[in-house]
Amino acid sequence: MVSEFKEFAMRGNVVDLAVGVIIGAAFAPIVSTLVENIIMPPIGYVLAGIDFSSLAIVLPTPTGDGVEIKYGLFLNAVFKFLVTALAIFLLVRVLNKLQKPAPAEAPAPPPPSEIYLREIRDALVNRQA
């Protein structure tokens, strides 16, 4: 059972998945910072200074406290997802291009002079035999 587990754990796909999860976890704070501090402020500026993280709909309750539906945080999460998906797509695309061997070109046909020389050689060999 131990050897089966070792074989399973050392398979290429499992190791690749583990590396992907670790890199993804390390990548998440970078994407969060990118979206919250670089992408969303200009979008908020263009939309008359709206801070997306503070957008909410307040539903009144009988006790006087409002219940907030914070759709601005949801929009930030959607942008984070889109930026993450785009970054991963670009990374996988680059890695696939690096891993693909260039297609082998078909060898060029020999020049006519070489074909003629082969025919002469073959004729001479057949004459001697």
- Cβ density class 55-79: b for 16+ within 10 Å, e for less: beeeeeeeeeeeeeeeebeebbeeb
Q: Residue 118's domain spans which residues?
A: 2-128
Share of the chain above pLDDT 70, in %: 94
Digit-coded pLDDT (tens) for 66-82: 899 999 889 888 888 88
Give 11's DSSP letter: S
What pLDDT, in 10s, does the model give residues 22-56?
888 888 888 788 877 888 788 778 877 777 778 89
pLDDT range class, residue 12, cuts 50, 70, 90:
low
Q: What is the CATH number of the domain that holds 31?
A: 1.10.1200.120
Number of structural domains in the chain: 1
